[in-house]
Chain A
């Protein structure tokens, strides 16, 4: 009986954890993948992994742990070469509608499109730095790399974005940089 009661409490508590964090997690996953369905898959897997350690009382900061789980999960998916190629096709097709309402909106669309053409590690670094507002040190810790690597990835990512945005549309390479 005690086990059953504890399981029920666990589930209710974890549902509360889910309610607190799931929106941020889905948004981060989407920014890392450009695919809404895959983002949910990544987040579901991340929550399930977090649950195991959360239940054992081993997670001090669920938000940070979940963010890392999402980044790792997204990375492991995107680093499979064959998946990346497939994803590139999806990303090109997933522009969530034409958004040429004004110039600013058009620019944000262009940036988003260019972001989808960054290599996975550069994309992770710039998303974590400029969406999550993580410091270089926190980004490095989350990605399991050195601060120098983060600096380099962000710098290259921004330079690449700049170059892509300055590039006439007709010169865009199909499939993006791999």
Chain B
């Protein structure tokens, strides 16, 4: 034993001897254990409710007596690809999704924290409308939800405002031309989004057609969807943006006067894209002259194309905000990369997430407390990923998901 080792031991023992747990620790442990039980309930209830709703939507013709279907007995077994050997497995992850707004192609539901369906609405079949994207307005609560929902039918896009409260769920189309996606668009229009500005006062979506790529922003003076709209709407052409197949991911705050819109590409091999937006004195959002979508090479290079990103690592000393999670498709399959760690180890995701083309497009990912929910919009398959590597496959189909917070 060297002198420095002796001194170190003495110091550690003395310090440790000074420490006693507070009486509140057990209460905190108990609270978190209760949350774990609720998570398990969330998974089970969400699956069961989805199965019941799907049966109502899909199979009425199979019910000759007109009665409703029985509630599914039990969900499909939850796949846990993590080996259970104590010696090699990190402690289990815990993901707290919280209340959610979820949707398949036509069915939109508000889920409580425990996965129970509080509200549901279905787009009418005759219009063949489908949900393209949705985003819960920041500041919403499970008692009072406001969300933007982008839908499409026969090549036309509609922006709708969803409201859900004690009186039920409403889904209104916004008629004002300034708020209609695709106004003046060329042929081959594809719209991606919507996303809310960090303060919840503006909304954006991405329009792509044969004439180019542009970001549209809109806002309201009062509540979202109220009349009349304010004048802070803007169309921001993105010259030189990579052509086609862009997915608008989110809109995050970098500094008090600076925000960042983040975009992924379904064809890019190693990067995502960012666009800095600033709000002018008139309230309208603008891009610095000459700026367009900047490609950001994903670290480490060569680990497969970036298919989704989520969350942010808070800026330090003015550094750019980085995603907390990347979803990539490497040679060995899809992975989630927790970039918030200095040495992020990719977490293998089940191959069930991949589509028939062997790729994960279009992908979506949402950071929730303790982890990530990632899915394939085309197939509706989705998984919950814990920060320490636990992966749970959701047995229900989810094409769109936005936390209520």
Q: Which of A's residues lie within 8 Å of B, judged by CB?
A: 11, 14-15, 18, 22-23, 26-28, 30-31, 36, 39-41, 43-53, 58-61, 65, 68-69, 72-73, 76, 79-82, 85, 96, 104-105, 107-109, 111-112, 115, 126-127, 130-131, 141, 144, 158, 161-162, 165
By CB atoms of chain B within 10 A, which of A48, A69, A79, A165 has the most?
A48
Q: Which residues of B contact A112 (CB under 8 A)?
A: 11-12, 15
For chain B residues 293-327, which have a beta carbon within 8 Å of chain A?
313-314, 316
Q: Which residues of A contact B2 (CB under 8 A)?
A: 158
- Give 5 A-B pairs besides A26-B19, A81-B316, A85-B316 with Cβ atoms closer than 8 angstroms: A48-B35, A49-B92, A82-B314, A111-B10, A111-B11
Interface segment, one of B82-90, B202-210, B223-231: B82-90
By CB atoms of chain A within 10 A, which of B4, B11, B20 has the most?
B11
Majority SS of interface residues in chain A?
helix
Q: For residue A47, give the distance in angstroms from its CB to the closest CB of chain B.
A: 4
Q: Is the CB of A108 within 8 A of B28?
A: no
Q: Is the CB of A76 within 8 A of B387?
A: yes
Q: Is the CB of A141 within 8 A of B87?
A: yes
Residue of B nearest to A162 (CB): B4
> How many residue pairs, one in A and one in B, have C-beta atoms under 8 Å apart?
140
Q: A26-B21, A60-B86, A79-B342 are in contact. Are A108 and B91 (CB under 8 A)?
A: no
By CB atoms of chain A within 10 A, which of B15, B20, B28, B86 has the most?
B15
Q: Which residues of B contact A59 (CB under 8 A)?
A: 86
Q: Is the CB of A44 within 8 A of B341?
A: no
Q: Which residues of A contact B342 (CB under 8 A)?
A: 79-81
Q: Which residues of A contact B92 (CB under 8 A)?
A: 49, 52-53
Q: For residue B207, give the distance in angstroms from its CB to the closest CB of chain A.
A: 35
A65–B91 Cα gap in the complex (Å)? 8
Q: Which of B's residues lie within 8 Å of A, judged by CB?
A: 2, 4-5, 7-22, 24-26, 28-30, 32-33, 35-36, 84, 86-87, 90-94, 313-314, 316, 340-343, 387-388
Q: Which residues of B contact A50 (CB under 8 A)?
A: 91
A18–B11 Cα gap in the complex (Å)? 26
Other-chain residue from A44, A108, A141 in contact with B25 (beta carbon distance below 8 A): A44
Q: Is the CB of B314 within 8 A of A46?
A: no
A85–B26 Cα gap in the complex (Å)? 29
Residue of B nearest to A120 (CB): B342
A76–B84 Cα gap in the complex (Å)? 21
